[in-house]
Amino acid sequence: MPRIELRGLVKRFGRTVAISGLSALIEDRELFAVVGPTACGKTTLLRLIAGLIRPDKGEILFDGVVVNDLPPPARRVRMVFQGHDYALFPHLVVYHARRWSNLSFPLRLRNQGLREISRRVRRVTRRLGINRNLFPRRPGELSEGQKQRVAVGKAIVLPPQILLLDEPLSHLDPPSRAKAREEIRELHRELGTTTVYVTHDLAEAFLLADRVAVMRVGRFEQVGTPREILDSPANRFVSDFVGSYLDSVRRAFVWR
């Protein structure tokens, strides 16, 4: 799976600087979490890696190859979007064995046979707890949590080289969120996909990630293991950010 290198990325929207000279190295098969306050640039960073937008300056490299000019399909990246539609197709049902559907779409696009489609979809739905009674429904007939599960399933039914997750558990209730978190960790172990996981919840990042980046106004203030960030915050901002989650972070280390 690709190693992702970010070199001096800059992205502006008008006068707003969303990403400001950001550099980082995300290792092959790593689960790398990005945390930070609202509007610090987390989602913009994912969109840059996915190729949905281009940097104004800097380079994005996969295994040492610059991909700035590669379109999204050529990057073999899947992204689960934050929002009410989660990039699901509103006119397609969750799953149909013989027709185009949200879960079968990536497989049918690559001319997979019906038996292989059924096998992969059955495996993903079982793992993510997507009940068969949801199969005939369209996204507009699903709850927010159900949409998120289907979106994650659509992203991994054909395992990508790079998986980008933007607040994938934000609309789940606490018991479902805990279960889905375990499922994401197990999926990562099994698939070995290089994964970038964006969340505002530091405890969630600490539970899941190999390393965590704490982000503020378009740049990383600190990158390290959960223990490194907890024991040796790089500056006052990181210290205050960790402090705001201290109780839940301590519980996270009990659970890890």
Question: Could you state, in order of their start, the residue ranges of all structural domains in the chain?
Answer: 1-76+160-226, 88-158
Nearest to 138, CA basis, from 90, 103, 85, 100: 90
Sign of CA dihedral 148, 154, 155, 156: positive
Separation of alpha carbons 67 and 5, rounded Å: 10
In whole angstroms, what is the distance from residue 62 CA to residue 193 CA? 13
Please tell me the predicted confidence (pLDDT) of residue 235.
Answer: 96
> What does the pLDDT read at residue 160?
85
List CB contacts of 205: < 8 A, sequence separation 6 or more. 33, 34, 35, 197, 199, 212, 226
Token output for 202: 């530091």
Q: Cα(58)–Cα(222) distance, rounded to whole angstroms? A: 20
Amino acid letter, 64: G
Average pLDDT score, the chain: 89
Find, among 216, 223, 217, 214, the residue nearest to 242 by Cα: 214
**What DSSP element (H or E) covers 5?**
strand 4-13
Domain topology for 1-76+160-226: Rossmann fold (3.40.50)
**Torsion 114-194-59-226 (CA) sign:** positive
* Whole-Å CA distances, 12 to 3, 54, 244, 252: 25, 10, 29, 35
Q: What is the pLDDT of residue 255?
A: 54
Measure the CA–CA gap between 184 and 187, rounded to whole angstroms: 5
Contact 35, 215 (CB under 8 A): yes
Q: What is the pLDDT of residue 101?
A: 97
Residue type, 16: T
Q: How many CB atoms lie within 10 A of CB 250?
A: 12
pLDDT < 50 stretches in the chain: none
Contact at 8 Å (CB) between 249 and 233?
no
> For residue 8, how many other CB atoms are within 10 A of its CB?
13
pLDDT at 249: 67
